[in-house]
Each structure stands twice: as structure tokens, then as C-alpha cells.
A and B are shown apart, each in its own frame.
Chain A
Amino acid sequence: MMDDLCHRLADDFDHAFPDLVSALSDDIYSGLRRLAGADAAEDLTQETFIRAYRALQAYPSQQIRTLRLRGWVWTIALNLGRNHARNRARRPTPVALEDRFGVHDPEPPDSEAWDRRLSRLAPTQRRAVVLRHVVGLGYDEIAAAVDRPEGTVKSDVHRGLERLRQLIEEES
């Protein structure tokens, strides 16, 4: 499906771009929700796609055709998430949301518990676990997005899950 989307982006960029957004927005939002927090996820998701649009606009269509789209978009999202975390640490003002559309879906009841657990993982493990199991990316896509070998990503996921199990055990 992503290959087909790449071809359509290469052929008719402006018309196909909204399809890229609808194909990946749940992925990006769900991941950023866990990696950057509830307050920032919405803005960062929008910003990810706006940056993706500007970057792709400048790409020759041949390059778009061969792009590994999900991993590529995640590279942008992770960068924005990292910058957000860095800025927040420096200057703890919340992002002002221009929200004209009203209410959000309610979060699952144990959402905060998961935030707490995930926050106790090492950053690379948290990122790997979220991308693999919340978002559902393949190891190859994660490896491309974080620019690390697939084997390293696998072991980050494995260790992250181990740590989560341990944390859950400690809770009970």
C-alpha cells in the first residue's frame, strides 16, 4: 500500500498528499502521544506532516518513488519529538493549541500508568518499544527511522519489554 502511495505521490503530489496524511496520521499520533506526551502530540503530528510536505515537494519524483515512506516520515516525527523535549526542558511553557474543533477522544483508563512505566525505560528502548508495539512498525522500518542497525533495534525492543514486565511485577 505504501509503495502504491509513493507512486501516486510521485505522479500527482498535491492530490496524493492527503492520502499520505490519512494513511499515517494514527501511526504518528499514537507514537508521539507516548513519546512526547498528550499535550504536544497533536501539534507535533500536524507539524510532522507539514514538514514532510515541504521536504517531499523538493524531491525529484524518482526519489519519491523509491522512498521507504513510513520510516522516512518517522524520522521527521522523532526529530520533532526530540526537539520538543529539549525545548520543554529549557523553557517549560506549554504549547498553545489553536483548537477550534473541540473535544478529544478519551484516553484509555490505564493511559497514565503506561506513561509512567514507559518513562522509566531508557530513551532508545522506549522509542523502540513504542514504534514496534504501539505503532506497529516493522524492525526494518524502525531501523531506518532511528538510523540504527536492525539487530540493535530488536535488542532494544526485547530489553524494553523485559523492563516493562519487571516494572509491572513491581507494581503488584
Chain B
Amino acid sequence: MTLENQLAGLRAPAPAQTAIAVSLGTGLVPGFAVYEAPFGDVAVMFTPAGVRQVRLMDELDPGAVEANPPRAWADRIPRALEEGRPGSLPLDLSEVTPFRQSVLGVAATIPRGEVRSYGWLARHVGKPGASRAVGSAMASNPVPLIVPCHRVVRSDGYIGAYSLGGPENKWALLRHEGAAPEHLEELAAAGMRYLGSDTTGVFCVPSCQRARRITDQHMVGFRSEASALEAGYRPCQVCRPLG
């Protein structure tokens, strides 16, 4: 055999996984990895730019390939899921409109174990009249759990709908975080949308950590922000009920 033929014999096929690894590495095909949530397993779909979607296992994009997320931020995924905030985890929201991105950005600041209403969210994105648009932004949140839309409730205080499998999952998440959804719905049924303290003269959304410190004997309920203001109460600086 000639030397040239021997060298040609060194040609070897690329490993079988090359094509799929390149598709994942370029983002042409999304990857997914499975994590545990309080109500069962979820699939986290990602591209090289960041996490793109969180889905229930049976709603998984059929084109997605199970793979390890990029090493640079793989360990931030379980943390973000557990804490219910993105932290330093990169999100790939390139397919989300700028308005919805800003809604997601504000929703991500709602503390664990607390809830805010669609109206609150609308005021905090600077569009006080846009509760409905905010509601659809939450309903189409591509990254539930990480951007905690389960912490956004109806403006009348009821827990309301949830996109990731239905309201029972929202309740499970809120219970898991210690947000006491039963208690929140009792307040809603009593028409108490805000809680004030007659010692400080401050009013809060019911799940605000400050509101939780108000003792029963000093607690005052309000049906609206207007009635709280009329009674001479100031909005809390922590939960900022007026935006």
C-alpha cells in the first residue's frame, strides 16, 4: 500500500453526537434538562444564551434534546427554581416582547412567600391601567417558577389561574413557600385587599412581611387603596402598594 493510501486510511467518521452537539451549541435546537418542582418534574429548555422555557414534561417541545446545560450556569438552574427568582441565571427571552419582558422583570422581584396582584404589577411597570395586559404577560410567561408568576394573584386577592398545569400547582407552590394561600383567600373573601397597622399608620398588601408582623388587635383592613389613604394611612415602603 502506498504511503498516500495509508494516510487516507486514517480518515475517520466524526463521533455520532457531533451534529446534535453543534445544533445545541448554536441554539438551532433547544436542549432540555429535567428538575424537580414541588408538584412534580419540569423540563427546563435552554439555548447557549440562557434558559428559554420551563415546561411540564408532557408539554415538552418534541424537537428538544435532553442535554447538559452550559457548564457556565448549569448549577444556577436548580437554585433559581428553588428560590423562585432568576438571580444570575441568564434567560433567553429573545422571543418575548419588550413590554412583557418588563412585566417579567418586575414579577421577578416579588419576594418568596409573598404575592402581589395584577394591578400592583401594572402600576410597577408604569402602566396602571394595564392589569389585563399584565395578566396575559403572566399567562404566557415562558419561564414560570424562575420568574415567579405563581406569586401574582387576582386584584381582588383570590389566588387565580396558573399557566403551568393549573391553579392546584399555584397553590402547591405558594404553600411550599409558606405564603398561606388559604389565609390569603380568606382575606379576599372578607374584601380586605390591604392591611394597615393603627400604631404605625402604614398599609401594606396582605402578604407583605411587614403586614405579617401586625398583631390582630392593631390590624385594620381596607377594601381599596383609596379608603386606606382617606383614613390617613401611608403606603408601605417595602411592598409599595401604590407603585
Chain A residues within 8 Å of B, Cβ to Cβ:
14, 17-18, 21-22, 25-26, 28-30, 33-34, 42, 45-47, 49-50, 53-54, 98-101, 104-105, 107-108, 111, 114, 129-130, 133-136, 161, 164-165, 168
Contact = CB atoms under 8 A, between A and B. Distances in A.
Contact of B28 (A18, A22, A46): A18
A111 B4 CA distance: 15
A101 B4 contact: no
Contact of A100 (B10, B28, B68): B68
Contacts of A100: 17, 67-68
B146 to A, nearest CB: 23
A161 B22 contact: no
Interface string B62-75: 00000110010000
A164 B3 contact: yes
Contacts of A101: 15-17
A105 B10 CA distance: 13
B7 interface: yes
A28 B11 CA distance: 10
B3 A30 contact: no
B19 A25 contact: yes
Contacts of A30: 10-12, 14
A25 B71 contact: no
A105 B13 contact: yes
A50 B25 contact: yes
Given A25-B14, A53-B28, A133-B8, 14 more contacts: A14-B28, A17-B26, A21-B22, A28-B14, A30-B12, A30-B14, A46-B21, A54-B26, A105-B13, A111-B10, A114-B10, A133-B4, A134-B11, A161-B3
Contacts, number: 93
Nearest to B10: A134
A129 B18 contact: no
Among A46, A107, A114, A164, max chain B CB count under 10 A is at A46
Contact of A135 (B11, B15, B21, B26): B11
A165 B10 CA distance: 16
A147 to B, nearest CB: 23
A98 B13 contact: no
